[in-house]
Chains A and B, each alone.
Chain A
Amino acid sequence: MQAALAALEQNYLTLNSQVTMLSIACTPDQKTALVTQLVAARAAYWACVNKAFHDDDPQVVALTNQLNAVNQQLTDAVGQMGDFTATLGQITNAAAIAGSLAALVIAA
Chain B
Amino acid sequence: MLNVVRPVRRMFCAGPLLLCLCFPVACNTASGAKAVATQLAATATSLAGYYGALHTELVNTDQLNTLEQGLSGVPYDAATRASILDTAAEIQKRADLANEISTLAATLTTLAGSTGAADASTAAGKVAAAAASIKPLSATLTSPVQAGIAAAAQEIAGAVLAHKMREAAAKLASLLDNLNKLYTAEEDVCTSVNTQYVSVSGDLSGALVAGGQTDAAAYTATMAKLALAPYGLTAKIDAATQARIAATAPLILQQKRADLKASQLVAGKAMEDALTDIAARAADLAAGKPLPGGVPTPSLTTVNQWAATLATK
Q: Which residues of A contact B292 (CB under 8 A)?
A: none
Residue from A5, A19, A35, A42 in contact with B80 in the complex, judged by beta carbons closer than 8 Å: A42
Interface of B is mostly: helix
Stretch at the interface among B101-109, B116-124, B164-172, B188-196: B188-196
CB distance from B261 to the nearest CB of A (A): 11
Any chain A CB within 8 A of the CB of B8? Answer: no
Interface residues of B in 192-206 (CB under 8 A from A): 192-193, 195-196, 199-200, 203, 206
Q: Are B139 and A2 in contact (CB under 8 A)?
A: yes
Complex Cα distance A68/B251, Å? 29
Q: Which residues of A contact B80 (CB under 8 A)?
A: 39, 42-43, 46-47
Any chain A CB within 8 A of the CB of B259? Answer: no
Residue from B75, B135, B199 in contact with A16 in the complex, judged by beta carbons closer than 8 Å: B199
Any chain A CB within 8 A of the CB of B74? Answer: yes
Q: Are A35 and B73 in contact (CB under 8 A)?
A: yes
Q: Are A50 and B74 in contact (CB under 8 A)?
A: no
Nearest opposing residue in chain B for A17, CB measure:
B203
Q: Are A108 and B138 in contact (CB under 8 A)?
A: yes
Q: Which residues of B contact A2 (CB under 8 A)?
A: 138-140
Nearest opposing residue in chain B for A8, CB measure:
B192
Q: Are A35 and B189 in contact (CB under 8 A)?
A: no
Given contacts A52-B136, A108-B135, contact A35 B75 (CB under 8 A): yes
Any chain B CB within 8 A of the CB of A38? Answer: yes
Nearest opposing residue in chain B for A55, CB measure:
B139
Complex Cα distance A17/B205, Å? 12
Per-position binary interface string of chain A over residues 42-64, scored 1 when its CB falls under 8 Å from any chain B CB and 0 otherwise: 11011101101101000000000
Number of interface residues of A (CB under 8 A): 24
Given contacts A1-B189, A35-B75, A50-B86, contact A108 B195 (CB under 8 A): no
Q: Which residues of A contact B216 (CB under 8 A)?
A: none
CB distance from A78 to the nearest CB of B (A): 14
From B136, B138, B141, B199, name the one whose CB has the most chain A CB atoms within 10 angstroms: B138
Q: Which residues of A contact B206 (CB under 8 A)?
A: 20
Q: Are A52 and B203 in contact (CB under 8 A)?
A: no
Interface residues of B in 294-313 (CB under 8 A from A): none
Q: Are B74 and A38 in contact (CB under 8 A)?
A: yes
Residue from A16, A47, A53 in contact with B83 in the complex, judged by beta carbons closer than 8 Å: A47
9 A-B pairs with the lowest CB-CB distances in the bound complex, closest first: A52-B139, A1-B188, A46-B83, A108-B136, A50-B87, A43-B80, A46-B80, A50-B137, A49-B87
27 A-B pairs (CB sep. < 8 Å): A1-B191, A1-B192, A9-B192, A9-B195, A9-B196, A13-B199, A16-B199, A16-B203, A17-B199, A19-B74, A20-B206, A20-B207, A35-B73, A39-B74, A39-B80, A43-B80, A45-B196, A47-B83, A49-B83, A49-B87, A49-B137, A50-B87, A50-B189, A52-B138, A53-B139, A108-B136, A108-B138
Chain B residues packing against A (C-beta within 8 Å): 65, 72-75, 77, 79-80, 83-84, 86-87, 90, 135-141, 188-189, 191-193, 195-196, 199-200, 203, 206-207, 210
Q: A38-B74, A49-B189, A52-B139 are in contact. List 13 more A-B contacts (CB 8 A).
A: A1-B191, A6-B192, A13-B195, A13-B199, A16-B200, A20-B207, A35-B73, A35-B74, A43-B77, A43-B80, A46-B87, A53-B139, A108-B137
